[in-house]
A and B are shown apart, each in its own frame.
Chain A
């Protein structure tokens, strides 16, 4: 007790001043930047969880992985044309079961091992063995038989059945090549370390906090789609994992972040000034849609499906729930998919026509505003695990034509449970793939992920035919017919194109989308302000 009396300063004054000085000290630590930055800070929305690009499907993880591994081919995001990358040339056989690549001979992985035909074989064999752990890759490798090493720099990948999407798949991050040592690891271990031949290497990864990439010294094998050659232009990229939208946008404004992922639609106007750049691109694949199960009595009625197609206003849905920088959905494929042909004419919103279609099919308006036929209400459910706002907009629109759309929003796990048991009227989801073959994956009864349950022999033969057709012009013609048929019979009701929308400060240059709408940061440079 005496000790307290002797003290000259009250204890609480001391503690307050300690806290205050800690605050001041840390404020000095976070300094600003005056000249061009060599460290880019990219605020991303979620944790990548796993860094192995061959296993992951989360956008953030793919965006990180794209900087670390290169692919055999590259694909022009505008034209869909395939160009050389790690493979200098390639050829396919007529029935699309065999693909031969000739590799560049100057490529090394970040552990200094050389890219050889053996490494490519090790990659595909390991991926095939991963099976369900690499779910997306296993779809690109459907029917995988073997990889033959022809010579040191020539390799042939064989399939037991035609695989039209493989060539395009080989340009994706999912089939990007990892070093031979990585291929020998278990699925879990691969998630922690990944050795690629890309322009950056993984420097550190702290789950739920950040991943830091460092420039690879001596990198010199970028594809010709990039704007420069040699090493990347910045020293490091820090992916700051920042789930809270307002923290990402606030940090972009205050200069804490240089680039942010997933700019909320509400903030597009705020960042639409000269001080910022907004990047937007639709995901290739199938837009967020209503996907029918035609084994269900009401859904089986083509008139009902057609009325639902005519009675949904995609422009309004896009205004309410989408990005102003992306067009409304206009086909069974998104506008960023190779082979896309607009079906906008057949999908025009027309409330009166929709009502007439239902009227003609015998669905009469009940007193509660819901149509009915033979005592049965025109009530269907849609099961989804995201995109509730999109479905709510559709629900309100369909109510106007007397269709009662019941929303069944479930967890991801329950969604796949419902898919497995086929217990649904409609599913709602989107599928991101770089190749139009996604339509076969979605609709062919033989596909392992057939969500749309449709019994149409003509459609099925077209879906199989495009997967066998090597000639691009001929294949695109079939794909155009498939899109036309899907909309004609309303086997799919597209609602909204899924889009990637990012933003950066205006002094960030060279950020580009690849053909699967993932970001390529090889050309990124940050100018002095």
Chain B
């Protein structure tokens, strides 16, 4: 019972923090969007109607009511906030479709390539780190260590086009675009995995190599434990904590960072939807997407915080230790 209490006290502030992040995201987006010059309704209608846009004030007023853009800023702020708690993100001005529906449609496509990219990136980073660790010659180790930074240095639109040129147009192995054919998520995921894997590699490999110079690895080597066992048993576990931290950040990055990849590969997804919404000044969609991405980010960080407690006993709630010790002493 005491342990549950401790966890509740550990988590409650973090839950509060989570709600605060959502509210702050909503407020900040609201302020930014509403203080941009120009009328968002006119902008969205113009992008829909092109050169035939007609702006009749009476019509515009009716449209404002329809899209929840009427009334004072305060009324809009609290009106949208209340709707938000009901799960209603409003109606897209340029498509007339509910924003919740649009996000529900696009999110799985983005989540698919983002999670695949994360898996490919992490596996790639771990493999290269292991190869560098096991490399018998220093020059080979240095060479391997130089590969991942390329992943960050090459812009996604370039690596994406290169992959399409080779694997779609050249070898005809995978589709170049869309979400319609099987395997269409592989090339975009690899494109996204390059920067993600490279960033993960920086943190993971330095944690591994820091641990390498520690006394327990020295001892293990002296006992003749094979490198693979040292890597898996000792180094991986030690590198876990910084890796989980960076994973949290990377998932946040992936949640919003799919825009370029989705445009190059002509995929439906959150990133492309955001680009279109920004171009059309569709503020209801922008606000909805920012909120969903912000919530994803906050949830991931909440999970990372919980994972800390599980992985590393030292970061567990301070109160837990004395109480448990007291029980042990009592017993």
- A positions within 8 Å CB-CB of B: 1, 4, 10, 12, 15, 19, 22-23, 25-27, 29-30, 32, 43, 47, 49-50, 57-58, 131-132, 135-136, 138-139, 187-188, 191, 206-210, 238, 240-244, 246-247, 250-251, 253-254, 256, 385, 411-417, 419-420, 429-432, 448-449
Report chain A residues within 8 Å CB of B43: 411-414, 416
* CB neighbours of A12 from chain B (8 A): 123, 126-127, 130
A19-B120, A139-B52, A250-B176 known; A243 and B268 CB under 8 Å? no
> Count of chain B residues with Cβ under 8 Å from any Cβ of A?
69
The verdict on A49 contacting B174 (CB below 8 Å), with A57-B50, A136-B52, A207-B105 known, is no
In the complex, chain B residues whose CB is within 8 Å of the CB of A417: 38-39, 42
Chain B residues within 8 Å of A414, by CB:
37-38, 43
Q: How distant is A247 from chain B, measured CB to nearest CB, in Å?
A: 5
Cα distance, A272 to B181, chains bound together (Å): 30
Do B56 and A413 have beta carbons less than 8 Å apart?
no
Q: Chain B residues with Cβ under 8 A from A188's Cβ?
A: 96-97
B208 CB, min distance to chain A CBs, angstroms:
15
Task: Give Cα A25–Cα B182 distance, bound, in whole angstroms.
Answer: 9
Q: A135-B54, A250-B176, A254-B169 are in contact. Are A30 and B181 (CB under 8 A)?
A: yes
CB-nearest residue of chain A to B43: A413
Q: How far is the CA of A449 from the CA of B54 in the complex (A)?
A: 6
CB closest chain-A residue, reference B232: A4
B contact face: mostly helix, strand, loop, or mixed: helix
Once the chains bind, are B266 and A242 in contact (CB under 8 Å)? Answer: yes
Residues of A within 8 A of B39 (CB): 413, 417
Check B206 for interface membership: any CB of A closer than 8 A. no
Asked if B175 CB lies within 8 Å of chain A CBs, one says yes
B45, B94, B120, B176: most-surrounded residue (chain A CB, <10 A): B176
Taking A1-B233, A413-B44 as contacts, is the C-beta distance between A208 and B272 under 8 angstroms?
yes
Pairwise interchain contact B51-A57, C-beta atoms closer than 8 A: yes
Contact A413 B266 (CB under 8 A): no
Cβ of B59 within 8 Å of any chain A Cβ, yes or no, is yes
**Chain A to chain B: the 5 pairs with minimum beta-carbon distance, closest first:** A413-B43, A26-B183, A208-B268, A188-B96, A412-B46
A250 near B95 with CB under 8 A, answer: no
Asked if B245 lies at the interface with its beta carbon under 8 angstroms from chain A, I say no
B212 / chain A contacts, CB cutoff of 8 Å: none
A188 CB, min distance to chain B CBs, angstroms: 4
Whole-angstrom distance between the Cβ of A491 and the nearest chain B Cβ: 18
Interface segment, B81-89, B160-168, B299-307?
B160-168
Q: Which residue, B54, B168, B264, has most C-beta atoms of chain A within 10 A?
A: B54
Which residues B38-95 have CB closer than 8 A to chain A?
A: 38-40, 42-56, 59, 63, 94-95
Is B263 an interface position by the 8 A CB rule?
A: yes
Knowing A30-B175, A50-B95, A251-B169, say if A209 contacts B268 (CB, 8 Å). yes
Is B111 engaged at the interface, CB distance under 8 Å to the other chain? no
Question: Of A27, A135, A430, which contacts B49 at CB under 8 A?
Answer: A135
Q: List 21 A-B contacts (CB under 8 A).
A: A12-B126, A26-B173, A26-B174, A27-B174, A30-B172, A30-B173, A49-B94, A50-B95, A57-B52, A132-B49, A135-B52, A139-B52, A208-B269, A238-B180, A244-B263, A244-B265, A247-B164, A411-B43, A412-B43, A419-B55, A431-B51
Residues from chain B with Cβ under 8 Å of A43 in the complex:
177
Closest to B262 in A: A208
Contacts of B123 in A (CB 8 A): 12, 15
Q: Which residues of B contact A429 (CB under 8 A)?
A: 51
Q: Which of chain A's residues has its CB closest to B179's CB?
A: A209
Shortest distance between the CB of A251 and any CB in chain B (Å): 6
Given A22-B183, A240-B177, A247-B266, CB of A254 within 8 Å of CB of B97: no
Given the known inter-chain contacts A240-B178, A412-B43, A415-B46, please indicate yes or no for A191 contacting B95, CB distance below 8 A. Answer: yes
Contact A251 B179 (CB under 8 A): no
Interface residues of B in 10-44 (CB under 8 A from A): 37-40, 42-44
- Are A411 and B281 within 8 A (Cβ)? yes
Q: With a CB–CB cut-off of 8 A, which chain B residues contact A243?
A: 263, 266
Asked if A251 meets B176 with Cβ closer than 8 Å, knowing A50-B95, A413-B39, the reply is yes
Chain B, residue nearest A412 (CB): B46
- With contacts A132-B63, A136-B49, A254-B169 taken as known, whether A208 is within 8 angstroms of B267 at the C-beta atoms is yes
Chain A neighbourhood of B37, CB < 8 A: 414
CA distance A23 to B43 in the complex (A): 43
Q: What separation, in Å, do the CA atoms of A137 and B152 have in the docked complex?
A: 49
Which of chain B's residues have a CB closer than 8 A to the CB of A251? 168-169, 176-177
Q: Is the CB of B268 within 8 A of A206?
A: yes
Closest Cβ neighbor of A58 among chain B residues: B50
Residue B198 at the chain A interface, CB threshold 8 Å: no
Partner of B182 from the list A29, A135, A136, A242 (CB cut-off 8 Å) is A29
Interchain nearest-CB distance for A64 vs B (Å)? 15
- What's the least CB distance linking A384 to chain B, in Å? 11
Across-interface contacts of B63 in A (CB, < 8 A):
132
* In the complex, chain B residues whose CB is within 8 Å of the CB of A15: 123
- Interface membership of B211, Cβ < 8 A: no
Min C-beta distance of A258 to chain B, whole Å: 14
Nearest opposing residue in chain B for A57, CB measure: B50
Cβ contact of A26, chosen from B46, B95, B96, B186, cutoff 8 A: B186
Whole-angstrom CA separation of A19 from B40 in the bound complex:
45
User: B47 — which chain A residues lie within 8 A by C-beta?
Assistant: 412-413
In the assembled complex, the CB of B108 is this many whole angstroms from the nearest CB of chain A, namely 12
A449: chain B residues at CB < 8 Å are 52-54
Cβ < 8 Å to A, chain B residues 260-312: 263-269, 272-273, 276, 279-281
Cβ of B106 < 8 Å from any Cβ of A? yes
**Does B106 contact A208, Cβ atoms closer than 8 Å?**
yes
Closest to A432 in B: B51
Max chain B CB contacts within 10 Å: which of A1, A29, A135, A241?
A: A135
